[in-house]
């Protein structure tokens, strides 16, 4: 739809590109990962809102309705069958600095496309850690009638307004026909064995001082003080890693994105928020 000044909006262009099958070209260009914009001197674009009638009414009892009081948890894989999916990333403010303590409340359809409106199946909330990172373990949602495949999420930084939005999968046939779909909300997704690994960085309207040194998840090749472990050493549970440390796992090399203590279940291929294959 043309804007009041006659210009075509960026959203319209992105949706048209997705409908023509060009959406995958956006995945590697930084459209989804705000961390790639850190240090370029420009403020990142805010994550757009998305709303499709998720306020329940008495007359309409089916649909993707938000429910308060979801359980505090980062894994919903036990809620039902389906293809394993991990969704990880960061929440940034206006200056592309990570925001800790952000509430993320996720809800989605199950593998067959049904929502649980009686209980809390495939519903849960969590908070970003001190580095602004989050991770959700779940399953790929099924197709809901009339919609493309998607995840719902509400985000609220401490003391800031709530953002309600959705996340989408690249390459979905219905992306081009879904009237709500927005290519700016496409996740980057890759297949890792039986698991799909998705990444997305949210950008909230949180004022930040761009002149303040910015913590960043982007790995450094020569971290101050040297790596915790020799470059190329094997990944070890219980080891303390710092950003920039390099390890090998199952014959592949990885760079640590964020300082953490390794534990079983956080093997490098399973946690793209912590490790990047190099």
* pLDDT reported for residue 267: 84
* Predicted confidence (pLDDT) at residue 233 exceeds the cutoff of 90: no
Task: Answer whether 210's CB lies under 8 Å from 54's CB.
Answer: no
* pLDDT reported for residue 100: 94
* Predicted confidence (pLDDT) at residue 62 exceeds the cutoff of 50: no
Report d(CA 249, CA 235) in Å as an integer.
6
Kindly tell me the burial class for residue 47, based on how many C-beta atoms sit within 10 Å of its own C-beta (0-12, 13-18, 19 or more).
Answer: buried
Pick 41 or 180 by higher pLDDT. Answer: 180
Q: What is the maximum alpha-carbon separation in the chain?
A: 63
Give the mean pLDDT of 97-124.
Answer: 94
191 phi and psi, to 5 degrees? Answer: -95, 130
Calculate what percentage of the chain has a pLDDT beyond 90: 41
For 153, the 3-state DSSP assignment is strand
DSSP 8-class letter at 2: B
* pLDDT reported for residue 277: 84
| pLDDT per position as a tens digit, 81-98 | 999 999 999 999 988 899
139 phi and psi, to 5 degrees? Answer: -125, 160
Calculate what percentage of the chain has a pLDDT beyond 70: 73
Least confidently predicted of 7-11, 43-47, 119-123, 262-266: 7-11
Report d(CA 245, CA 13) in Å as an integer.
40
* Predicted confidence (pLDDT) at residue 135 exceeds the cutoff of 80: yes
Least confidently predicted of 24-38, 105-119, 180-194: 24-38
* pLDDT reported for residue 200: 94
Give me the residues paired with residue 248 across strands: 234, 253
* pLDDT reported for residue 30: 36
* pLDDT reported for residue 223: 29
Pick 49 or 164 by higher pLDDT. Answer: 164
* pLDDT reported for residue 216: 41
Under the banding of pLDDT at 50, 70 and 90, the label for residue 104 is: very high
Give the mean pLDDT of 162-167.
Answer: 90
């Amino acid at each position: 739809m043309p804007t009041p000044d006659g210009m075509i909006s960026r959203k319209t262009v992105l949706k048209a590109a997705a409908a023509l099958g060009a959406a995958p070209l956006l995945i590697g260009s930084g459209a989804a990962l705000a961390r790639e914009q850190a240090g370029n001197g420009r403020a990142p674009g805010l994550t757009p809102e998305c709303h499709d009638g998720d306020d329940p009414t008495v007359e309409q009892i089916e649909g993707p309705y938000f429910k308060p009081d979801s359980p505090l948890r980062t894994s919903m894989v036990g809620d039902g069958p389906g293809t394993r999916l991990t969704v990880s990333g960061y929440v940034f403010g206006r200056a592309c600095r990570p925001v800790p303590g952000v509430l993320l409340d996720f809800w989605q359809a199950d593998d067959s496309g049904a929502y649980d409106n009686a209980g809390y199946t495939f519903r849960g909330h969590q908070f970003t850690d001190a580095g602004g990172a989050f991770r959700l373990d779940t399953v790929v949602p099924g197709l809901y009638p009339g919609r493309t495949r998607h995840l719902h999420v509400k985000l609220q930084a401490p003391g800031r307004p709530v953002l309600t939005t959705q996340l989408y999968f690249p390459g979905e046939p219905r992306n081009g026909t879904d009237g709500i779909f927005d290519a700016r909300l496409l996740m980057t997704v890759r297949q890792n064995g039986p698991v799909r690994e998705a990444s997305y960085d949210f950008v909230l309207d949180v004022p930040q001082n761009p002149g303040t040194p910015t913590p960043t998840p982007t790995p450094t090749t020569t971290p101050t003080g040297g790596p915790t472990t020799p470059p190329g050493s094997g990944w070890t549970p219980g080891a303390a890693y710092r950003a920039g440390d390099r390890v090998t796992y199952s014959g592949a090399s990885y760079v640590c994105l964020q300082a953490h203590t390794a534990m079983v279940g956080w093997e490098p291929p399973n946690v793209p928020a912590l490790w990047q294959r190099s």
